[in-house]
C-alpha cells in the first residue's frame, strides 16, 4: 500500500510540532533526539530525502533558537564534538534510508515494466485493475496484436522484430494519454485500457489509433496490427472475460483484414461476444463504423519492404 506523499508530509510535520511542544514543557533531562530522528527517518522513507533533511534542519534550528542545544560560547570541545557526531549520524541514517527507498522504487518499477517496449507488463496490468479505478466508469478495452511478427523474426532476425515492437509501442504512447493503461501481455499481444466520455469518444480513440498504426505513408514498410475494441459503458467488471471478448474481436479484425473491430459489452452480459451485427443495431449516435479492409498480405509486404531498406542501406 502506497501512502500519498502529501498526506505523509503533513502527518510527519504535525508529529514534529507535537514533539517540539512536548520538549518545551518536559524536563530538560528528557532527551527527545531519538524521536526526532524517527520522524525524519519516516520522512525519508515515505516522502523524500530532501524533505527529511529540511525537516531535520528546521528542528535543529528551532532547538537552537530555544536554547535547548549546546551553548557554543560556553561549551567544552567534547560537547561540540558529541553534538556534531549525533547530527552527522542522524544525517547518515536519513541519507541511507533515502537511497534504499529510491532503489526499492526503481526495482518495483522495473519489475512491472516490459524491458523491450517500456510498456507495463502483464503483472502491472492486472495489479492496476485490482482497485476500483476502472469500475463504474465508461471505459474502452483495446486488445492489439502485431501482425506478421513471426514472419519478420524468421526472415530478418529477432533484432528487426524487437525494433518493430519498439516502434509499435512508441506509436501507441503518442496516440493515448499518459494516464491510460498500456501493457504488453506477452509476445506480440498488447492491451490498452482507457477512460472515455462516451461511445463517440471511444470510436474516436479507436479510429485514431488505427490510423496511427495502420494508415499513412509514414507506416509503409512497418508491421500492421489488428485491434479488438471493446467498449465498456459500466467500466471494467471482469477483466478476464473482457479480455477474451476483446481478443475475439481482434481475431475478427484479423480475419477480415480490417484493422479493427469494435463492439459494446452489454450490461451484465460478459459471456456473449458482441458481433458486428450487435454494433449495427446500436442507435445512430453510438454506432461504430468498421474500418474497410486495406491490408492483404500485410505481414509479407512489410517483411519485403524492410528487407529492401536493409539492402539499400548496405549498398
| pLDDT 10s digits, 183-209 | 999 999 999 999 999 888 988 999 999
| Nearest by Cα to 119 from 23, 185, 69, 54 | 185
Residue 142 has pLDDT above 90, yes or no: yes
Q: Which of 229 and 309 is assigned the larger pLDDT? A: 229
Q: Three cell numbers at 251?
A: 481475431
How does pLDDT run across 275-310, given as a tens digit for each residue?
343 333 334 433 344 444 344 444 445 545 544 444
Q: What is the DSSP letter of 298?
A: H
Contact between 254 and 229 (Cβ < 8 Å): no
Distance CA 65, CA 70 (A): 11
pLDDT of residue 108: 85
pLDDT confidence tier of residue 27, bands split at 50, 70 and 90: low
> If you write DSSP's letter for every residue of 236-265 in order, what string do you get?
-S-HHHHHHHHHHHHHHHHHHT-SEEEEEP
pLDDT confidence tier of residue 181, bands split at 50, 70 and 90: very high
Distance CA 211, CA 188 (A): 19
pLDDT of residue 284: 40
How does pLDDT run across 255-282, given as a tens digit for each residue?
988 888 999 886 645 333 343 433 333 3
Q: What is the DSSP letter of 222?
A: S
| Nearest by Cα to 227 from 197, 200, 263 | 263
Q: Three cell numbers at 14?
A: 504535525
Q: Three cell numbers at 270?
A: 460478459
- Mean pLDDT, range 219-247, rounded to an integer: 85
| 225-232: strand order across its sheet | 181-186, 189-195, 139-146, 225-232, 260-264
Backbone dihedral region of 67: left (phi > 0), alpha (psi from -120 to 50 degrees) or beta?
Answer: left
Contacts of 177 (CB under 8 A, 6+ apart): 194
What pairing do the DSSP bridges indicate for beta strands 139-146 and 225-232?
A: antiparallel
Range with the poorest average pLDDT among 25-29, 76-80, 247-251: 25-29
Would you mind telling me the total number of residues written for the chain in this entry?
A: 315
pLDDT of residue 65: 79
- Mean pLDDT, range 213-219, rounded to an integer: 69
pLDDT of residue 41: 93
Percent of the chain, pLDDT > 90?
Answer: 38
Alpha-helix runs per DSSP H in the chain: 5-25, 33-46, 49-65, 77-110, 122-128, 149-156, 158-175, 199-214, 239-256, 276-280, 298-314
How does pLDDT run across 160-170, given as a tens digit for each residue?
999 999 999 99
How does pLDDT run across 32-90, given as a tens digit for each residue?
778 888 999 999 999 999 999 999 999 888 877 777 676 666 767 877 788 788 889 98
pLDDT of residue 269: 55
Contacts of 257 (CB under 8 A, 6+ apart): 293, 294, 295, 296, 298
Distance CA 184, CA 171 (A): 14
Structural domains in the chain, sorted by start? 5-110 (no CATH), 122-314 (3.30.70.270)
Contacts of 287 (CB under 8 A, 6+ apart): 279, 280
Q: What is the DSSP letter of 68?
A: -
Q: Which of 299 and 9 is assigned the larger pLDDT? A: 9
- Burial letters 2-25, b for 16+ CB under 10 A, else e: eeeeeebbebbbebbeebbeebee
Amino acid at each position: 500500500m502506497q501512502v500519498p506523499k502529501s498526506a505523509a508530509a503533513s502527518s510527519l510535520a504535525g508529529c514534529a510540532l507535537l514533539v517540539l511542544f512536548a520538549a518545551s514543557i518536559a524536563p530538560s533531562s528528557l532527551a527527545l533526539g531519538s524521536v526526532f530522528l524517527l520522524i525524519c527517518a519516516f520522512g525519508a522513507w515515505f516522502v523524500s530525502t530532501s524533505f527529511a533533511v529540511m525537516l531535520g534542519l528546521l528542528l535543529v534550528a528551532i532547538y537552537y533558537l530555544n536554547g535547548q542545544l549546546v551553548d557554543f560560547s560556553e561549551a567544552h570541545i567534547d560537547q561540540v564534538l558529541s553534538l556534531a557526531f549525533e547530527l552527522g549520524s542522524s544525517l547518515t541514517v536519513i541519507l541511507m534510508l533515502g537511497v534504499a527507498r529510491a532503489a526499492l522504487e526503481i526495482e518495483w518499477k522495473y519489475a512491472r515494466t516490459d524491458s523491450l517496449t517500456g510498456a507495463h507488463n502483464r503483472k502491472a496490468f492486472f495489479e492496476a485493475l485490482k482497485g476500483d479505478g476502472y469500475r463504474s466508469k465508461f471505459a474502452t478495452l483495446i486488445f492489439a496484436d502485431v501482425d506478421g511478427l513471426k514472419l519478420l523474426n524468421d526472415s530478418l532476425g529477432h533484432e528487426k522484430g524487437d525494433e518493430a515492437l519498439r516502434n509499435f509501442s512508441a506509436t501507441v504512447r503518442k496516440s493515448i494519454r499518459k494516464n491510460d493503461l498500456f501493457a504488453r501481455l506477452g509476445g506480440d499481444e498488447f492491451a490498452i485500457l482507457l477512460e472515455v466520455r462516451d461511445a463517440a469518444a471511444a470510436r474516436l480513440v479507436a479510429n485514431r489509433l488505427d490510423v496511427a498504426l495502420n494508415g499513412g505513408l509514414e507506416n509503409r514498410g512497418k508491421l500492421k496490427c489488428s485491434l479488438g475494441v471493446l467498449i465498456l459503458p459500466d467500466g471494467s467488471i471482469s477483466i478476464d472475460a473482457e479480455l477474451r471478448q476483446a481478443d475475439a474481436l481482434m481475431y475478427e479484425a484479423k480475419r477480415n483484414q480490417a484493422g479493427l473491430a469494435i463492439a459494446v459489452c452489454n450490461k451484465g452480459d460478459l459471456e456473449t461476444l458482441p458481433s458486428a451485427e450487435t454494433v449495427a443495431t446500436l442507435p445512430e449516435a453510438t454506432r461504430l463504423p468498421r474500418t474497410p479492409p486495406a491490408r492483404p498480405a500485410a505481414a509479407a509486404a512489410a517483411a519485403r519492404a524492410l528487407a529492401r531498406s536493409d539492402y539499400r542501406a548496405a549498398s
